[in-house]
């Protein structure tokens, strides 16, 4: 028969196992811990060593205890945190070793190192998301400002375009600009008496005949004229409490509207119009009469303004 040394050792351990010996002569666990701590007397120690030779279970347990003592001695000088870490890690790993992937994963999650790593990762990702949101917000603000500027520019252009559109559509844009530039604009001009102001008699068309109103009255004004006066004639004897006027250009846009007109004893209404208000073009003046609760058109006048 051939035996390796490992087999020899195994056979010996099996032969000296507690269960094989059928003798309950093993020292108590307390005695074993005392032996491990070196607290036995000389005689006790000799008997203890003899026992270890003949009891494989006690030998194995004593080996564990001795290893524990050496680990404990080593850990005694280490900070308490490391003891805790070691114990948590041992517990988590040994529990996880006999289970599936989820317990293993959750055991890893219980380890302090994993917790620190997760915390750091969350912190970094939080900072990155914060920075991303902040940069998005700045970009949005920049775009909003840009859009606003564009809107304001468009509005300015549209306002300018409206003024120009009210003039003769056949005029070139350059000519329109020149015409507008030539209109009296300064306060100095407006504060002077204006001589030879044109007075234009306007005869009404039928108020209910639509935009075309009555016959088109052509008005030719000098370029230096700041005002011209319109006399609005009405047919019949309207008896409204209040009268109002609305001036629209040929596109139907309201140029001006206001109330407070009073009928003269001659059954007319007068108003002075600034030439700045009405650049060259066609206009419609609608006179309304109000007698609560009534509010209805009284007369419509069609005018074409030109400047020479």
Partner 1 sequence: MESVEVEERFRALMKEYGNLVRWIIAQMCPPSLGISREDLEQEVQLKLWRALHSEREIANPKSYVGRIAQTAAIDARRRVKTRSEEPLLDAAMDAEHPGRELRDERMISPERHAQQEQAKGMIKTELREFPKESRIAVGLHLQGYGARQIADVTGWTEPKARNLVYRGMRNLREKLSEKGIDCETD
Q: Which residues bind partner 1 (CB under 8 A)?
A: 1-16, 18-19, 26, 29-30, 32-33, 36-37, 49-50, 52-54, 56-57, 59-68, 71-72, 76, 80, 83-84, 86-88, 90-91, 94-95, 97-98
Q: Which is nearer to partner 1, 44 or 95 (by Cβ)?
A: 95
CB of 117 to partner 1, least distance (A): 22
- Provide, rounded to whole angstroms, the least separation between the CB of residue 102 and partner 1: 17
User: Strand pairing of 281-291 and 242-249?
Assistant: antiparallel
Residue number with CB closer to partner 1 (24 or 308): 24
- In the complex with partner 1, the residue whose CB is nearer, 70 or 173, is 70
- Please say which residue, 107 or 303, places its beta carbon nearer to partner 1: 107
Nearer of residues 59 and 271 to partner 1, judged by Cβ: 59
**Which token pair is 192?**
């002077």
What is the DSSP track for 25-61? -PPPHHHHHHHHTT---HHHHHHHHHHHHH-HHHHHH
Q: Return all residues near 185 (Cβ < 8 A) that are at least 6 apart.
A: 276
Residue partners of 207: CB distance under 8 A and separation at least 6: 286, 296, 297, 298, 299, 300
Which tokens hold the place of 302? Answer: 């069609």
Helix (H, G, I), strand (E, B) or coil at 295: strand
The smaller minimum CB distance to partner 1, of residues 98 and 192, is found at 98
Query: Closest separation between CB of residue 65 and partner 1, Å?
Result: 6
Shortest spacing between CB 126 and partner 1, in angstroms: 32
Contact status, residue 275 vs residue 228, Cβ threshold 8 Å? yes
Q: Are 308 and 263 within 8 A, CB to CB? A: no
Report the nearest approach of partner 1 to the CB of residue 119 (Å): 22
> To the nearest whole angstrom, how small is the minimum distance from the Cβ of residue 41 to partner 1?
13
Backbone torsions φ then ψ of 80, nearest 5 degrees: -60, -30
């Amino acid at each position: 028969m051939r035996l390796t040394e490992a087999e020899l050792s195994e056979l010996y351990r099996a032969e000296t196992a507690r269960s094989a010996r059928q003798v309950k002569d093993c020292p108590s666990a307390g005695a074993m811990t005392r032996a491990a701590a070196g607290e036995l007397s000389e005689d006790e120690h000799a008997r203890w060593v003899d026992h270890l030779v003949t009891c494989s279970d006690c030998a194995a347990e004593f080996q564990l205890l001795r290893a524990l003592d050496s680990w404990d001695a080593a850990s005694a000088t280490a900070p308490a945190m490391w003891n805790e870490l070691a114990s948590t890690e041992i517990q988590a790993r040994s529990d996880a070793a006999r289970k599936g992937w989820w317990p293993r994963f959750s055991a890893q999650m219980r380890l302090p190192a994993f917790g620190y790593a997760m915390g750091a990762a969350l912190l970094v990702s939080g900072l990155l998301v914060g920075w991303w949101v902040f940069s998005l917000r700045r970009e949005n603000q920049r775009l909003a400002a840009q859009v606003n500027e564009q809107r304001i520019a468009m509005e300015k252009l549209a306002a300018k375009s409206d003024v120009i559109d009210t003039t003769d559509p056949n005029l070139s844009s350059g000519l329109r600009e020149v015409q507008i530039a030539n209109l009296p604009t300064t306060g100095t001009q407006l504060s002077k008496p204006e001589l030879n102001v044109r007075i234009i008699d306007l005869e009404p068309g039928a108020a209910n005949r639509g935009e075309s109103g009555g016959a088109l009255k052509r008005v030719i004004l000098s370029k230096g004229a700041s005002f011209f006066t319109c006399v609005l004639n009405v047919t019949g004897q309207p008896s409204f409490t209040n009268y109002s006027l609305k001036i629209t250009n040929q596109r139907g846009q309201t140029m001006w509207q206001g109330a407070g007109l009073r009928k003269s004893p001659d059954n007319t209404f007068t108003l002075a119009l600034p030439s700045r208000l009405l650049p060259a073009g066609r206009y419609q003046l609608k006179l309304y009469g109000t007698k609560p609760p009534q509010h209805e058109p009284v007369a419509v006048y069609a005018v074409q303004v030109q400047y020479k």
